[in-house]
Amino acid sequence: MDKETVYINSGDIYKDENVKTVVNNYTYSSTADEVFSFNKNVSEAYPSGKQYIFTKEFKSYFPNDNRREGIELNNYDLCPDVDLWIALGAPNENENQNYDLFFAVDNIEQLKSVANYYNLPYPITFEIENIITNSPENIHMWKIGSRSIVPAGIQYRNGLPSILKLYTYPTEIEGWSTWMKGYSYYNEGELYESGSITQQLTGGLEKENYFTRGEGNYKRAECIKSTVDGQTSTNYYFVKVEDGGDPIIMWEAEETNLNTNVKRIKKYESSKMIRQAIANLTSGNNFEEYNLPSEISFVLGRSYYENSNETEIFFVAKDSEQIKSIADHYNLKVPYNNLLKEKLNNDPASMRVRHYDLLGLGEGNFVPVVACGLLFVDNVVTQIKLYEFTRI
């Protein structure tokens, strides 16, 4: 999800918020359905908050979700043209005055029938109709097999239907939703490279050339793209170990020069240290041949180009003093400004690559790993970079 846009009354915007604003309206609940593990915070419409209580039929498409059984909506007035009712939105499942009934939009004719049944204004414009008809995956909330679920809801007030809403989740990249942003900085905080990690629900299927996370109907493919402004554009591809990929950093990048359109392949190799820490492997090396300064205590890996003397060594950034010592060692400027320095020293989790068990203390004791890179060209360090990853 990159943002949420909700339509009512022939295309009026009921709500249009970016994902960070949307998230602030909800609180995670360990007892909520895994289909959507959040409760709506207290609002004027719902002074007691709002739960999302999913139907048995909808939950049957998500067999790994066992938190709650699911409900029937037999006590509610249901339009017979709706094929799949999704959930009841209410303070509790006995609410019969102020609540929302959510359903899956199959097509435009069905949505018009729902509007007529409840005697409510049709919610969308011709432009949104086209998306529902031709590319619902660009605005969907869930994926069930090959079916993209675009939700709509009938809002009841004082026991009467009051608004018909269509919920859309447009994304930066069509069909993919952003869940992480990545940046690298150099020269006292100048932005060097930026990119995003996007994901796409696959309906429980594998997607060729993409890394997939999750299980069953929650399986999602990941896509990574980045740019160096005005210089290069890079696409990352997942490479399995059996196809020659690294056991930890299972990516290969195709980098395109934006001026010449010349492409080159960037490969990745994880260090022996990180392989041992997170996978108990003994293979690999720690790139001792680069004579790294003693301030670098944990090497993560390297990237390199075929037929090139350009290599970047990645290591764990502990704090600003460590990085300053390393930058001084190579007579380079530090890669951070005051804001990045503050984050690194006091909130490293906010910019981490991942949490890893670098201390060998087991589950629950993982540490946030912030990455730095040293760029070697012909065995000379020309740049030190600090990486920041932010979760959406």
83 and 135 housed in the same domain: yes
Q: Do residues 300 and 269 make contact, with C-beta atoms less than 8 angstroms apart?
A: no
286 and 159 housed in the same domain: no
142 and 232 housed in the same domain: no
150 and 196 housed in the same domain: no
Distance (Å, whole) CA 344 – CA 185: 13
246 and 292 housed in the same domain: yes
pLDDT above 80 (res 218):
no
- Compute the average pLDDT of residues 56-68: 82
Going by pLDDT thresholds of 50, 70 and 90, the confidence category of residue 358 is low
Enumerate the β-bridge partners of residue 153.
102, 165
197 and 154 housed in the same domain: no
Query: pLDDT tens for residues 250-297?
Result: 889 999 999 999 999 999 999 999 999 888 899 999 999 999 999 999
Q: Do residues 173 and 221 make contact, with C-beta atoms less than 8 angstroms apart?
A: no
Per-residue pLDDT at 21: 59
Parent domain of 267: 177-391
- Total number of domains constituting the chain: 2
153 and 241 housed in the same domain: no
Per 3-state DSSP, what percentage of the chain is helix, strand, and coil (rounded to 5)? 20, 40, 40
Angle between helices 108-117 and 126-134 (to 10 degrees): 130
Q: 168, 194, 220: which is the final residue of a domain? A: 168
Q: 168, 188, 222: which is the final residue of a domain? A: 168
102 and 123 housed in the same domain: yes
196 and 343 housed in the same domain: yes
| Prediction pTM value | 0.67
Going by pLDDT thresholds of 50, 70 and 90, the confidence category of residue 37 is confident
Per-residue pLDDT at 362: 63
116 and 184 housed in the same domain: no
- Compute the average pLDDT of residues 62-67: 74
Going by pLDDT thresholds of 50, 70 and 90, the confidence category of residue 72 is very high
Per-residue pLDDT at 375: 97
Q: 168, 196, 220: which is the final residue of a domain? A: 168
pLDDT above 60 (res 20):
no
35 and 133 housed in the same domain: yes
Per-residue pLDDT at 188: 95
Per-residue pLDDT at 172: 66
DSSP 3-state of 390 = strand
How much is the mean pLDDT over the chain? 87
Q: Among residues 81, 151, 163, which one has the least CA distance to residue 122?
A: 163
DSSP 3-state of 133 = helix
161 and 181 housed in the same domain: no
pLDDT above 80 (res 216):
no
